[in-house]
């Protein structure tokens, strides 16, 4: 078998596509190390938004005139792009939502209210973002089901040694887990968890909001039942995300939002639901946003997910090495080979918000806070961390600027 090296990405060349780099602080482009919160946008994606609004805009799935047909084609083309991106067996299984949060709420409500009850168990991980934690906790409690977390070890990796021990006489119904942790960057063994969950007759819900921007996603290889993503974390616009769901499950589920477009027939006695995916897409959809999402996926595919993953891996290794030189900085999370381009850390004795403020004066943008993972903060025994996160436009010099900035933090506050 031929051994092919993973292609290398040219971040300097890609940077020319990103207008945000025109933002200067003290004469230099801002070192944007907060892509895990939301990514910057390439011109190609912005052009797709402007192009749609300028030349092909009308409501979709309604008009029979040419403009409406062009808009519908563009919208459905974007759905095809998303479906291919996650290797969905069918485009009908892809539902446009407002973001990953709405996709996860859709499953928790529409599947959970009909399928969870007393004696059932919902498991989420201790690493989970609140978006894949709170909806499940809420629906489980509302339905009288048990809700528990899969623990992590001190390196921030899921402990799979005693999964069966988490089931205390209940029926396991849901395992909801992120593919990549937004706080520690941990890449979770979702395939293993899905196999274990299916062995117990449970469904697996994957929050891929933080994975899809950085690595190839294959819902069939993961063998999960639902998977959620957000466009704004993968070069696309805000206001759109997607839920992929296994067709049999989506077919039998009740709708989530009700109103226009999601119906087949309505009369005073009874309303019947439309086909997939329309049954879950009430109201006017995120038309331009979806088209921008499709363009962002085109851009990611052109760069190559494998090249992006390799680039981030190199940056993470470099960042952990540089931060490791500072004995007054504590880093959290697994070794670089088992994490995505996310590094959480604390400067001894300095609150993350103060760290972020000083770094901002140096033109370095990172995030400080609990990152919507309060249960994880409790487990780590901290109230907050700093988080630097990387993407395809990140260059090692920006990590050097982060480290220089941390020296300033140390000299002024440490």
Ligand X SMILES: Cc1ncc(COP(=O)(O)O)c(C=O)c1O
Name which of residues 277 to 336 contact ligand X (CB under 6 A): none
DSSP 383: S
Minimum CB–partner distance for residue 302 and ligand X (Å): 23
- The C-alpha angle with vertex 291 and arms to 281 and 57, in degrees rounded to 5, equals 90
Q: Which of 106, 138, 74 is nearest to 241 (CA)?
A: 106
Cα–Cα distance, 254 to 234 (Å, whole number): 30
Between the alpha carbon of residue 22 and those of residues 57, 130, 192, 366, the distances in Å are 30, 34, 44, 18
Nearer to ligand X, 371 or 401 (CB): 371
Question: CB of residue 208 vs ligand X: minimum separation in angstroms?
Answer: 8
Q: How far apart are CA 228 and CA 129, in angstroms?
A: 12
Q: Do residues 25 and 364 lie in contact, with contact meaning Cβ atoms separated by under 8 Å? A: no
Angle, helix 305-324 to helix 396-413, in steps of 10 degrees: 30
DSSP string, 112-129: HHHH--TTEEEEEETT--
Residues 106, 209, 303, 376: which binds ligand X (CB under 6 A)? 209
Structure-token pair, residue 91 = 């485009």
Pick 39 or 131: Cβ nearer ligand X:
131
- Which residues from 112-131 bind ligand X, rule CB under 6 A? 129, 131
Nearest to 174 by CA among 251, 226, 230, 247: 226
Instruction: Please report the DSSP string for 134-203 in residue order.
Output: HHHHHHHHHHT-EEEEE-B-TTS-B--TTSGGG-SSSEEEEEEEESB-TTT-BBP-HHHHHHHHHHTT-E
Query: Of 39, 182, 186, 346, which one interacts with ligand X (CB under 6 A)?
Result: 182
Question: Is-contact 234 305, C-beta < 8 A?
Answer: no
Span near ligand X by CB under 6 A; candidates 160-168, 207-215, 344-352, 392-400: 207-215
**372 in catalytic set:** yes
What part of residues 210-229 is at the interface with ligand X (CB under 6 A)? 210
Nearer to ligand X, 237 or 294 (CB): 237
Minimum separation from the CB atom of position 73 to ligand X (A): 26
Site string for ligand X, 44-83 (x = CB under 6 A): ----------------------------------------
CB of 317 to ligand X, least distance (A): 22
Number of residues forming the site for ligand X (CB under 6 A): 15
Shortest spacing between CB 32 and ligand X, in angstroms: 16
343 part of the interface to ligand X, by CB under 6 A? no
Cβ contact 250:339 at 8 Å: no
Judged by CB under 6 A, the residue of 100, 190, 240, 295 near ligand X is 100
Q: Which tokens belong to 129? A: 């973002």
Smaller CB distance to ligand X: residue 231 or 315? 231
State the Cα torsion 247-181-36-390 to the nearest 10°.
-120
Given 372, 377, 382, 403, the catalytic residue: 372
**131 vs 385, beta carbon nearer ligand X:** 131
- The interface with ligand X within residues 234-273 (CB under 6 A) comprises 241
Among residues 228, 159, 227, the alpha carbon closest in space to that of 196 is found at 159
Nearest-approach distance from CB 136 to ligand X, in angstroms: 13
CB of 36 to ligand X, least distance (A): 6
Candidate residues 17, 207, 225, 362; the one interacting with ligand X per rule CB under 6 A: 207
List active site positions. Answer: 372
Q: Provide the binding-site residues for ligand X, judged by CB under 6 A.
A: 99-101, 129, 131-132, 178, 182, 207, 209-210, 230, 232, 241, 372
């Amino acid at each position: 078998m031929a051994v092919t090296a993973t292609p290398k990405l040219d971040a300097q060349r890609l940077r020319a596509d990103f207008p945000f780099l025109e933002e200067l602080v003290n004469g230099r482009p801002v070192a944007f190390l907060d892509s895990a919160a939301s990514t910057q946008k390439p011109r190609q994606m912005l052009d797709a938004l402007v192009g749609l609004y300028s030349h092909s805009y009308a409501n979709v799935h309604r008009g029979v005139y040419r403009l409406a047909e062009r808009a519908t084609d563009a919208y459905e083309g974007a759905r095809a792009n998303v479906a291919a991106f996650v290797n969905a067996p069918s485009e009908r299984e892809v539902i446009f939502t407002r973001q990953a949060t709405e996709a996860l709420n859709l499953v928790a409500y529409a599947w959970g209210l009909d399928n969870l009850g007393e004696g059932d168990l919902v498991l989420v991980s201790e690493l989970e973002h609140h978006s894949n934690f709170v909806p499940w906790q809420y629906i489980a409690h509302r339905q009288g089901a048990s809700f528990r977390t899969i623990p992590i070890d001190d390196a921030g990796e899921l402990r799979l040694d005693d999964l069966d021990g988490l089931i205390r006489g209940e029926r396991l119904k849901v395992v909801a887990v992120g593919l990549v942790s937004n706080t520690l960057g941990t890449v979770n063994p979702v395939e293993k968890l899905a196999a274990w969950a299916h062995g117990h007759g449970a469904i697996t819900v994957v929050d891929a909001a933080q994975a899809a921007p950085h690595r190839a996603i294959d819902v069939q290889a993961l063998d999960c039942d639902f998977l959620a993503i957000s466009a704004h974390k993968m070069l696309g616009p805000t206001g759109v995300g997607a839920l992929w769901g296994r067709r049999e499950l989506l077919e039998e589920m009740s709708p989530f939002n009700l109103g226009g477009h999601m119906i087949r027939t309505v009369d005073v006695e009874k309303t019947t639901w439309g086909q997939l995916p329309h049954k879950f897409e009430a109201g006017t959809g995120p038309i331009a946003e979806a088209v921008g999402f499709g363009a962002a996926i085109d851009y990611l595919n052109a760069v190559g997910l494998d090249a992006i993953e390799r680039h981030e891996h190199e940056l993470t290794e470099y960042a952990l090495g540089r931060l490791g030189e500072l004995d007054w900085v504590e880093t959290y999370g697994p070794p670089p080979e088992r994490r995505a381009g996310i590094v959480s850390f604390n400067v001894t004795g300095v609150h993350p918000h103060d760290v972020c403020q000083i770094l901002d004066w140096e033109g370095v943008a990172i995030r400080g806070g609990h990152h919507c993972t309060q249960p994880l903060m409790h487990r780590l025994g901290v109230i907050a961390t700093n988080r630097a996160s990387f993407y395809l436009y990140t260059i090692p010099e920006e990590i050097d600027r982060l480290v220089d900035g941390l020296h300033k933090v140390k000299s002024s506050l440490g």
